[in-house]
Every structure is written in C-alpha cells, then in structure tokens.
A and B are shown apart, each in its own frame.
Chain A
Amino acid sequence: MSLLELKDVSKVYGELHALDKANLTVEKGEWIAIMGPSGSGKSTMMNIIGCMDRPTSGQVIFDGRDISKESRKKLTEFHRDKIGLVFQQFHLINYLNAVENVMVAQYYHSMPDEKEALEALERVGLKDRARHLPSQLSGGEQQRVCIARALINSPQLILADEPTGNLDEANENIVLDIFKQLHKEGTSLVVVTHDPEVGEVAQRIVRLEHGKIVSDKKNENFTE
C-alpha cells in the first residue's frame, strides 16, 4: 500500500486552477522532489498533502485513509500524528530556545519530553546549541532545529517547503545530508523546491506547471 495517493486532485480559487487534476503516489520510504516555477501549484500541493488545506475535488488517500473530506479538526489530528513540516522561513518561536521550539511540537502532540527533544537535536547535530535562542543561531542551525521539530513526533512523512531556500551552500549541504540520513533510516520525504540542486538529490522528481503534473520521473542520478 502506498503511503500517499492523490487522485485527480484539484484546488480552485475563483477562476484560478491552482492544482488541476493532479495524480501522485508516494511510496513508504520514498524521497520525492516536487519542482516547478513560482505559481505552478507546488505550495498548494504541499498544503493539501500536509493537511493544511482541502482539495476542491479529488481524493487524498494517506496511509489507506481518504482524508480529502475530513473535518478541519480531524485533519489537524491527522497532520499532527503523521506529518512533520519544514519551512523555508524556519518559523521558530523567537522567545523559546532550540529545545523548547522542538518541545512545542511535542506539547501539541502528546507530552513535552526534554530528553527526547534533545535527542532530536542531536540527530541534526545541534545538541550543544539546545539552549540558544533562534536569534543566536545561524540560518542553517535554525533550519536544523526546524527539522528536529518536524522529526520529534516520529511522523510517517516529512514535508519540506523550499528547505534550503534561505541557506548558503554549506548549510544547504548540511540539510541535504540530514535528509539523506533520514531517507536511509526509512523516512518518507516530500521536498517542494525550485532549486535543481535540491531536486537532483531526490529519488524521484515531479514537475508541476500551471497546476498540472507535467512529468514524474525517477532520478537516474540518485545515490543512496
């Protein structure tokens, strides 16, 4: 059974078809890059996959369950349990330190556990920066905190929106190395990006244009 299936999924805003009958399958443990120019529907697809939005039509089947018609409350619960989000802008809470930012996701999921949160930070190489505020961390470090926060509740899918968009090359490589490690560990990854270098490291590349999937190919250059 696939982890995620989009069947003829459309999202319409007035006259605009942000997503137009998109069909996509993500297998468990797969690493997919969703690429396309600005306005191609990448973020809309991410919102729908991430349970932050519902499609106008079509089906979204996650782990065998159709979530396209679920209530907002159910979607929130589902998203909380199954998906970890990584954002381009990091979106850390600036008055909480790194470990507390990770614990926020635990708090809304179950119970905050500082030991677990520190372990998550250790996975991204930031245990020694756990007590630092976001303002005391570099962009790359902030993005790693964001990844640790996404990982903390052991999600089935990591959904990353332009995760390296605000990073320099060195930090981009660090983040991509973390993604590689997560992939090796069996975590499913969907990375939305317009950066070819980020797309090139994924197992599969899906291209979007004007809300339609125009190509869906295995990456021949993918290396474990």
Chain B
Amino acid sequence: MFFRMIRGTFARQWKKMLMIALTVALGASIATAMLNVMLDVGDKINEELKTYGSNITVIPQSEAVMNKLYDVENDEIKAEYIQEEKLGELMTIFWANNITDFAPLTDTTVTLNGSDVRLIGSWFDHHLEFVKKGTTYQRDTGIINLRSWWDITDGKWMDEQKLDGDKYAMIGAELAKEKNLSAGNKITVNGEKGAEELTIVGVYESGDDEDQCIYTTLPVVQRLTDSSGLFKKAEVSAITSPDDELAVKAAKNPSLLSGDEYDLWYCTAYVSSICFQIQEAIPEASAAAVRQIADSEGKILEKTELLMSLITLMSLIGATLGISNLVTSGVMERSAELALLKAVGAANSQIPRLVLTEIMITSVIGAAAGYFIGYAFAQIIGHTVFSSSIEMSGIVALIVAVLIIAVTLVGCIPAIRMLLRLRPSEVLHGAH
C-alpha cells in the first residue's frame, strides 16, 4: 500500500517530481564537477605551471653559501661549477618520476660584431644515459621543454640529436633584429678562450631579456670558458605538491622534524623534499625552489579550491531552496489527501515518512543523473581550462551522495513542519 501511494504520487505529481529531480540534478552535477576538478586541480595546475619553466634551480654549494652570506646575485661571485655527469643522479632520486625536465646552463659574455652578448650553453633535447649500481637510466631532456613558451619566429628549435656537431645556436629575436641575423646565417663569437663559428638554427622570442641572448650547445660554452664537463647552474622542472605547514617547517630545517614527520615529508613531493633529495644525490650542489613559482602554485591552488568550494556551496544552497519550495508547494497541494491519511489513522510520523520517501526516490534519480552530467561538466572544464581530462574520484560520488541526502533533508524541513502541524479537522471540514 505504501508503494502504491508513492506510485500514485509519481503518476499524479510527475511534473513537480521532475522539477525536484532536475533541481537535485543541477546541484549534484555542479558539486560533482567542482569536487572532481578540485581534487584534480593540484596536479592540473602543477602541469600548467610546468609549462612556464623550471621550479627548482641547482647551483654549486659554495656559490649558494656566498649568496646567502652576502645576499648577492650569483653573477657577482666568481662562479664555481658542477660536474655535468652528476646531473644523471637526478634520475635516481625517490621523486625522479616527478622531475619532468632538467638542463644544465653555463653562460659567458662573448663579443659578436664588436658588441658584448650573453651566450648561454645548454642541452636542447639531450639524450642522457646514466649508469648507477648496474642500472642504466635514460632520458631525453633539455630546454625545449623548459622554454616551451618561446615563440620560434624564424627557423626551428635546435635538435641536438639530429645536428652534425655542436656548432649551432638559437638567437633572441631582439638581438637578431639588431644584428640583422636570421636562421641559416653564420656568426662568430669571441670569448676569453677563443672563438667559435656557429650556424643559427632558429630565432626565438621569449618576451624577457633572453631576447638579447644567444643559446648554443653546452660544449661550445664549455670550450669558450675552459670548463669542459662542467656547468654553472641547472634548471629543474618538477611536479610538486603545494606547500603546507609541514613543508614550511621542513624548508627551514629538516632536522627539526620528528621521525614520522620526516618520513611523511620525505615521501611527499614537496618542492623542499625534492630539493633535499637532489642535494643528497649531488652533495656539491645546492638545490633551491624558485619561490615565485612554488608560491604561485600554492596560492593559485588555494584560490581555485576556495572558488570551487563557494560555487559548490552556492549550488547546494540553491538546490536546497529549490527543493524546499517545490516540496512545500507539493505538500500544500496535497494537504487534503495527507490530512485524510491522518484522519483514517496515520500516525504523525507516518505522513512525513511517506513524503520523505517520495522525495528521496526523486533525489536519488536526480543525483544519479546529476553525477553523470557533472562528469561531463568536469571533462568540459578539464579540456577547456587545462586541455586534459579530469580524473573522476570514487570519493566524490560518496561525498555528493551525502551532500544530496543532506540537501534533500534540509530542503524538506519546512514541508515536514507543515505536515506535523497539519490537522485533519481543519483541512477536512473547517475548524468549527
């Protein structure tokens, strides 16, 4: 009989039930989309920020100490070097898979057609092989990925693996314009230790002062600075977890952490723990986070999560109000019927139970539809904003289910209060 009455309500009030289901579906879809994006947004923002360059720099230990002591830029101190072959160690650390790219850089000042120019030697798409304890590690890495925002206005990216020899260069757009150079031209650069004739492979526009520089292969600069097998600095791009209190504490001094804290910190991809592991792998180097990027990640993540939480909250409040209006008006329309049930013997609790069951069934249908719509919303957001799909989390389905039950129950409160106050005598034949 209970389900016959519920079936009857659905048959008779299907428009109202459809509206309730749509309201729930809207709330559930937004909650599903936002919560999934929120859970996935950390990695997405990390990936997004990786396209803006490295977030860790590796410099010689001694230089780092001088920088700290005198608070000066590293160019003002006589540069020390790190052995190029040590860079392979980056592929062996605990968080090696989070290191997406890295490249050594050594710069020097050379003269080009009578004027001083900054010449930077690096890897472009260097094939690196590193053997440690019988294991061979391999990777193609270089500034092609670390400078992914460069716009190649003439020629192409330098492909180290395909070019014959190392006497090639890419020139900044401003310098190329100033010196009237283009791809295919040959230039001669004069350094302290000699001169090199280089072929320009491409002209890049970086949007910063590197537009006045020349990038060439690392061996060219090593020859010009008499630093064969060495480099001054390395840039590392790593996928990191946003800093929290533990990361901040560890960044000050990891030795202050308790055993458990240390394990948690070490096994979390904080930028500080990755830097720490780089220093463990290359003891003569000092690795430091590029604070601007690391901080931006945390701030962007925090603000994005706050925004999404607010959107979720607003949508759920909207759904609650919608449900409340629809259920209350539905109960008002059915007051004679519901009062009759009381008049034929229904207890005060039985009527709300009947109405709640009807609304809960409707909500479950709406929530299920909303979850799948939310999945589609999440993918649209993922592809529109981050150009990749959003991974759906099982926990979100659970959270959305709990939220929708809460929203439905809260939305039904005014109607239930009305039902409890409903007096069959008043509804059925007036008070007196």
Contacts and interface: CB of A to CB of B under 8 A. Distances in A.
B345 A13 contact: no
Dominant SS at the A interface? Answer: mixed
A13 B344 contact: no
A100 B428 contact: no
B4 interface: yes
B432 A13 contact: yes
Interface in B348-376: 348, 350
A52 B423 contact: yes
B431 interface: yes
B337 interface: yes
B429 A161 contact: yes
B431 A52 contact: no
Dominant SS at the B interface? Answer: helix
A41 B432 contact: yes
A79 B345 contact: yes
B2 interface: yes
Interface in B282-328: none
B8 A95 contact: yes
* Residue with the highest number of chain A CB atoms closer than 10 Å, among B11, B343, B431, B432: B432
The number of chain A residues touching the other chain, given as a range, is 35 or more
B429 A93 contact: no
A95 B1 contact: no
Contacts, number: 87
Nearest to B2: A107
A219 B230 CA distance: 124
Contacts of A104: 1, 5, 341, 344
A76 B348 CA distance: 8
B148 interface: no
B432 A109 contact: no
A85 interface: yes
Contacts of B8: 93, 95-96
B51 interface: no
Contacts of A16: 432
9 contacts: A13-B432, A43-B425, A73-B348, A76-B346, A80-B345, A87-B429, A88-B429, A91-B428, A108-B347
Interface of A: 11, 13, 16, 18-19, 39, 41, 43-44, 46-47, 50, 52-53, 72-73, 76-77, 79-80, 85, 87-89, 91, 93-96, 100, 103-109, 112, 149, 153, 161-162
Given A16-B432, A85-B343, 9 more contacts: A43-B432, A52-B424, A52-B425, A76-B345, A91-B343, A94-B337, A95-B9, A96-B8, A104-B341
Interface of B: 1-2, 4-5, 8-9, 11-12, 336-337, 340-348, 350, 423-425, 428-432
